């Protein structure tokens, strides 16, 4: 795509705008691994002198996650020290117009030292988490007691796990798994 033509593209949060070698991230954008992505719904505007790209909001009333807000999202993938979350709704289960990317770092999982984030969340889990940063990608925390995994599936057979005391067990293959479980585990109505 010719970069001069991209200003006609309507972007939503998470859309790739360009790579940092082409334009540096400006207002309304953020960078992940060398790729500039849109943080808002809007249209890109290029500053050719400074080689900066901005994304200008089309609608300032678009509801966005913000620091302190509790959200729901699915764990889409995991690395050694963090999990990527697809945030889809606020704490009242009101869906956002478009999903947002969240990052749960190992340091935000528990007050105690955590050796492996993989003992607390797993891909596919539905999380209740608190946003701790103001702009995308939203950094999340599940440290507080009411936060954590709200639905989880068996790593072996994929069946929804059942909470029994402090552990999650699979009603199908009987495997036992560990998570940082939210008190509302299994009772969530909005998915």
Chain positions contacting Zn ion, by CB under 5 A: 154, 156-157, 159, 170, 172-173, 175
Tell me the closest approach of the beta carbon of residue 23 to Zn ion, in angstroms.
47
Tell me the closest approach of the beta carbon of residue 164 to Zn ion, in angstroms.
14
With beta carbons less than 8 A apart as the criterion, state whether 141 and 110 touch.
no
In this complex, which beta carbon is closest to Zn ion, that of residue 97 or of residue 171? 171
With beta carbons less than 8 A apart as the criterion, state whether 85 and 74 touch.
yes
In this complex, which beta carbon is closest to Zn ion, that of residue 135 or of residue 175? 175
Tell me the closest approach of the beta carbon of residue 156 to Zn ion, in angstroms.
4
In this complex, which beta carbon is closest to Zn ion, that of residue 50 or of residue 157? 157
Tell me the closest approach of the beta carbon of residue 172 to Zn ion, in angstroms.
5
Tell me the closest approach of the beta carbon of residue 176 to Zn ion, in angstroms.
10
In this complex, which beta carbon is closest to Zn ion, that of residue 58 or of residue 157? 157
In this complex, which beta carbon is closest to Zn ion, that of residue 19 or of residue 159? 159
């Amino acid at each position: 795509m010719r970069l001069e033509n991209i200003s006609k593209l309507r972007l939503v949060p998470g859309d790739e705008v360009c790579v940092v070698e082409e334009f540096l991230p400006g207002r309304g954008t953020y960078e992940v691994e060398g790729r500039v992505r849109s943080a808002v719904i809007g249209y890109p505007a290029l500053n050719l002198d400074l080689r900066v790209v901005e994304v200008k909001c089309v609608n300032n009333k678009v509801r966005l996650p913000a620091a302190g807000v509790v959200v729901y999202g699915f764990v889409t993938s995991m690395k050694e020290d963090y999990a990527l979350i697809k945030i889809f709704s606020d704490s009242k289960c009101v869906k956002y117009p478009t999903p947002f990317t969240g990052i749960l770092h190992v340091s935000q999982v528990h007050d105690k030292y955590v050796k492996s984030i993989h003992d607390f969340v797993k891909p596919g889990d539905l999380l209740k988490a608190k946003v701790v940063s103001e702009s995308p990608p939203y950094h999340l925390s599940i440290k507080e007691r009411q936060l954590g995994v709200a639905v989880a599936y068996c790593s072996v057979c994929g069946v929804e796990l059942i909470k029994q005391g402090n552990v999650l067990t699979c009603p199908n293959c009987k495997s036992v798994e560990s998570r940082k479980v939210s008190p509302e585990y299994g009772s969530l109505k909005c998915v």
